[in-house]
């Protein structure tokens, strides 16, 4: 299994690499195929947001062990323009780039935990977690 670490996001190729790395990590932990796909979809959207809105940033990944439960944590960090109104950005369909406006709300729906920190002029950090089901 991969150790905890960091992947830089700086271009289209890095988004492809993020997808592969998240697939290896999530299937290595033992998530079922449906959950692996959900985690890859969420990670892909958040990596794309970094590339599109901030130009560059990084994904930090970690395997979580908490009271017998195993999970995955992915943190998407950038030092881009930030998000002025987070609740608005979380609304399905809201976009500043003629996108679908489903990246943030869709990622939230795919995961068990979802948190956004952002400050205008400083950057954005989106943290997502998913726990493995015992079945």
Ligand X SMILES: Nc1ncnc2c1ncn2[C@@H]1O[C@H](COP(=O)(O)OP(=O)(O)O)[C@@H](O)[C@H]1O
Interface residues toward ligand X, by CB under 6 A: 45, 49-50, 53-54, 78, 80-83, 89, 94-97, 99-104, 124
Q: Is 32 or 95 the residue whose CB approaches ligand X more closely?
A: 95
Query: Length of the chain, please?
Result: 135
Output the smallest distance, CB 6 to Mg ion, in A. Answer: 21
Contact between 80 and Mg ion per CB under 5 A: no
Output the smallest distance, CB 104 to ligand X, in A. Answer: 4
Contact between 41 and Mg ion per CB under 5 A: no
Contact between 49 and Mg ion per CB under 5 A: yes
Which residues on neighbouring strands pair with residue 127, listed in sequence order?
75, 115
Spatial contact of 38 and 111, defined as CB atoms under 8 Å apart: yes
């Amino acid at each position: 299994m991969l150790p905890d670490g960091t992947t830089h996001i700086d271009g289209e190729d890095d988004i492809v690499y993020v997808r592969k790395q998240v697939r290896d990590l999530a299937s290595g932990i033992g998530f079922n195929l449906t959950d692996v796909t959900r985690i890859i979809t969420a990670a892909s959207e958040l990596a794309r947001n970094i590339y599109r809105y901030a130009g560059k940033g990084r994904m930090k990944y970690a395997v979580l062990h908490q009271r017998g439960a195993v999970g995955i944590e992915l943190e998407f960090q950038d030092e881009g323009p930030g998000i002025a109104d987070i609740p608005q950005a979380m609304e399905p369909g809201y976009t500043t780039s003629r996108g679908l406006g489903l990246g943030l709300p869709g990622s939230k729906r795919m995961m068990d935990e979802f948190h956004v920190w952002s400050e205008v002029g400083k950057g954005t950090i989106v943290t997502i977690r998913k726990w493995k089901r015992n079945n």
